[in-house]
Amino acid sequence: MERDRSITLGDIEQAHGRFASERANLVARNAVTSAGVRSAARDPEIASRATTTFDIQLEQGEICDQKRSGRCWMFASLNTMRYRIMKKLGLKTFELSQAYPLFWDKYERSNWFFENIIATAADELASREVAYLLRDPLGDGGQWDMFRSLVKKYGVVPKEAMPETACSSSTGDLNKYLTRYLRHGAKRLRDAVAGGADAAALDAIKRELMDGVYRVLAICLGEPPATFDVRIRDEKNELKASGTYTPQAFFAEFVDMDLDAYVSVINAPTEDKPYMRSYTVKYLGNVVEDGTVRYVNLPIEALRRAAVAQLEDGLPVWFGSDVDQGFLRDDGVIDPEALDVDRLFDLPIEAGLDKAARLDYGESLMTHAMTLQGVNLDEAGEPTLWRIENSWGADRGKKGYDIGSARWFDEYVYQVVVDRKYLTAEELAAYESEPVELAPWDPMGALAR
């Protein structure tokens, strides 16, 4: 029998009758139309459970603000590094420049883009991979491995050595016009390949294009310092550090962090990504000579264990999550139970998909990077609440911090970056194995888009 695919007037009348016959529907309609879904679904009891005191609690200093930019991965990375500087020098607060890595990421990512355009020049312009490369070649997002590559090559600088500009605080126009220039460059390179240009000719075109990229970045962000003077005083006005440094020397002396010791652990419980395997994402990277990213996929219990162990050793943890799920922004609470959406609509909206299905069906992915700065543990040593340092300024949440529930961590945290010493020998061997290459649009690469 052929299916009736249309909606009839009878269908609409029945839907209206069923809706209007339920008192709860009318109460929910009044609440949502007046206050919105989140306000109507907010559970005040869950919001009130959040604490500001933790069993393990690291103190970071003043909260940073990424403003109108997608640099969360940079802010989270720099927050793990500035913590080391504060601890080393006995400072109450300190901030590293976020404009400095932004410059070098845009510069290196432009080169990465041009190299990928040359590599795919024989492919049809309408192919899915070429279309993917052209869609957003210069987004603000990124991954820990990409930040590690930048710091290994360019180091870090104090914020005063390269302060924020209008274009670093609000990257929209910078990205818009530089992306247009990159697409122009892509056409030049593809046309050159089609015309039979050799490697030397392509290199000459790319060098010219990269000079243009540098010009745009220098105009928008200022030129990065090759050297800078340092004078750092503590709260008692005692001089704790002084001298002239290169960015690399400053990182080596004051951050003193073995970047290669830190590995990315993901939790993607989907059939296409078996646990205890290493993965990478095609075309995801920035510094050409340092390669792409690498993850090891482990059960969520391993992510919890490693994150707690690093916090117990007094170091914050970089992590990536789907931050908007169960998020009461004004309260600074992240908990799937904080928004009772299913009861509000009397439908399986939140409960309808598990973690694997949310990834498979496009409902969830990594959207934001932050740092774990504390944790509460139960009698068995399992985490019950997480203290999260955000990068959206101190005037929101709990003075810039958020409180994440254990369930939220399990359901919506997809990645932690920890010292490899917190992995078992078997887990580390899995990380070191030859990685499986994921498609460029795989959700495990979402944070970099």
Residues with catalytic annotation? 72, 368, 390
Residue 314 DSSP symbol: T
Q: How many residues does the chain have?
A: 449
Is the separation of the CB atoms in 311 and 374 below 8 Å?
yes
Is the separation of the CB atoms in 150 and 293 below 8 Å?
no
* Local structure of 245: helix, strand or coil: strand
Structure tokens at 265: 């652990």
Helix runs in 36-169, H state only: 37-41, 44-48, 72-89, 99-119, 128-135, 144-154, 166-169
Residue 229: which of 324, 148, 127, 158 has the closest Cα? 158
Question: How far apart, in whole angstroms, are the C-alpha atoms of residue 14 and residue 23?
Answer: 16
Question: How far apart, in whole angstroms, are the C-alpha atoms of residue 339 and residue 349?
Answer: 11
Structure tokens at 297: 């996929």
What residues have CB less than 8 Å from 333, skipping those under 6 apart? 46, 47, 50, 327, 402, 403, 405
Rounded to a whole number, what is the largest CA-CA distance in the chain?
A: 85
* Local structure of 215: helix, strand or coil: helix
Cβ-count burial 241-256 (b if 16+ within 10 Å, e if not)? beeebebeebbeebbe
Q: What is the DSSP string of 292-336?
A: ---EEE--HHHHHHHHHHHHHTT--EEEEE-TTTTEETTTTEE-G
How many Cβ atoms are within 10 Å of 231's Cβ, its own excluded? 11
Beta bridge partners of 355: none
Angstrom CA distances, 187 to 28, 178, 211, 272, stand at 54, 14, 17, 35
Question: How far apart, in whole angstroms, are the C-alpha atoms of residue 437 and residue 279?
Answer: 6
* Local structure of 345: helix, strand or coil: helix
User: Residue 89 — φ and ψ, nearest 5°?
Assistant: -100, 0
User: Residue 170 — φ and ψ, nearest 5°?
Assistant: -140, 95
The residue behind tokens 């490899």 is 420
